[in-house]
Amino acid sequence: MKLGQLGEFGFIDRIARRVGAGSGVRLGIGDDCAATVVPPGELLLTTSDLLIEEVHFRRQWTGLRDLGRKSVAVNVSDIAAMGGTPRHLYLGLGIPRQTALEELDAFMDGLLVEAESYGVTLVGGDTCGSPGPLLISITVEGTIPETELVTRDGARPGDAIFVSGTLGDSALALRKLQTDEAPDPYLAQRHHAPRARTGLGRALARARAASAMIDVSDGLLADLGHVLKASGVGARLERETIPLSPPFRRELEKDGGLWDLALAGGEDYELLFTVPSGKQAVLDQVAEEVELPLTRLGSITSPDDGIVVKDRHGRDCRLPNAGFNHFRGTG
């Protein structure tokens, strides 16, 4: 069946039937607005992302189930980066008329499974036909106790810089897809179905271990650049400390140019955060609690330093704190 035959309201009913009651949801899909509860003393966090076919994804490379999962994960990742708990999701869809219902069901499967895995409930949205590409707009709301909010502007000289997980996997998978090679399955999964680091984000915020935090969506250097700019500081990194997965390392042995992807490739959705020296013991406790490696990359320095990356030979490569988009590594 095509979506046109089911109609907008048929499709909305089909979605509504699949959504369970969420905690804190007084009214979900079906009225003019959703009505939800923010716990007393907490702030509402809201983040939104637009995904356009051929701009942000290609159906040739990404199955609709993965697309549903990823579109949730990338939004939830922003809530994690503030230290919050994700709670509610709104879904805007512009659907090409010829889209098969099975495809939309696969998208919704992925979206609902991923949302549930974070305790997030779909509470509303908007649906219409699109004369062109598939459009997906997702808004996620979360909450955080007012005193625990972690922003980008709190990094100070002397703070240590940490990142979770490994970097470059998603960008390497994308590079393979772009050159018609099949990526290693682990790398492909990191690209198509990333997981937001909500447990880590909450643990860091609750323990007040992080002075600043951001999720790595645009690449390590670009996102570190955002923290440095907001905080008015610089940074020194040691390239060799950047955490890499075994499949990434295997490829790196063949092509040293892949350091670029670890430094500047995007869509890792790991958390990058800074830790004051007095909080190191607290961080050690958080590290025991979460099931993710946390790696120290370097330190925050004074603003005039920009970003200095020390390579394997101990050489400094100085980058101005701007325009990392076109960064090229030294191999």
Distances (CA, A) of 245 to 94, 132, 194: 37, 38, 14
Which listed residue (17, 21, 32, 246) binds ligand ADP by CB under 6 A? 32
Task: Report the first-to-last Cα separation within the chain, whole angstroms.
Answer: 52
- Give the CA-trace dihedral at 234, 236, 241, 245, to 10 degrees: 30
93 binds, among Mg ion, ligand ADP, none (CB under 5 to 8 A by kind): ligand ADP
Q: Which stretch binds ligand ADP (CB under 6 A): 27-35, 76-84, 165-173, 183-191?
A: 27-35
CA distance 169 to 187: 5
CA distance 28 to 88: 10
We find the least distance from the C-beta atom of residue 8 to ligand ADP, in angstroms, to be 7
Of 123-182, binders to ligand ADP (CB under 6 A) are 124-127
Angle at 65 between CA 64 and CA 66, to 5 degrees: 90
Q: Cα dihedral sign for 76, 79, 81, 85?
A: negative
Cβ-based nearer residue to ligand ADP, 11 or 61: 11
We find the least distance from the C-beta atom of residue 31 to ligand ADP, in angstroms, to be 6
Cβ-based nearer residue to ligand ADP, 121 or 301: 121
138 binds, among Mg ion, ligand ADP, none (CB under 5 to 8 A by kind): none
Cβ-based nearer residue to ligand ADP, 127 or 330: 127
Distances (CA, A) of 146 to 41, 120, 201, 206, 215: 6, 20, 15, 11, 20
Which listed residue (3, 15, 210, 307) binds ligand ADP by CB under 6 A? 15
32 binds, among ligand ADP, Mg ion, none (CB under 5 to 8 A by kind): ligand ADP
Which listed residue (45, 64, 93, 221) binds ligand ADP by CB under 6 A? 93
- Collapse the DSSP code of 317 into the 3-class scheme (helix H, G, I; strand E, B; otherwise coil) and give the result: strand
Cβ-based nearer residue to ligand ADP, 126 or 240: 126
CA distance 96 to 164: 38
Which residues contact ligand ADP by CB under 6 A?
12, 15, 29-32, 91, 93, 122, 124-127
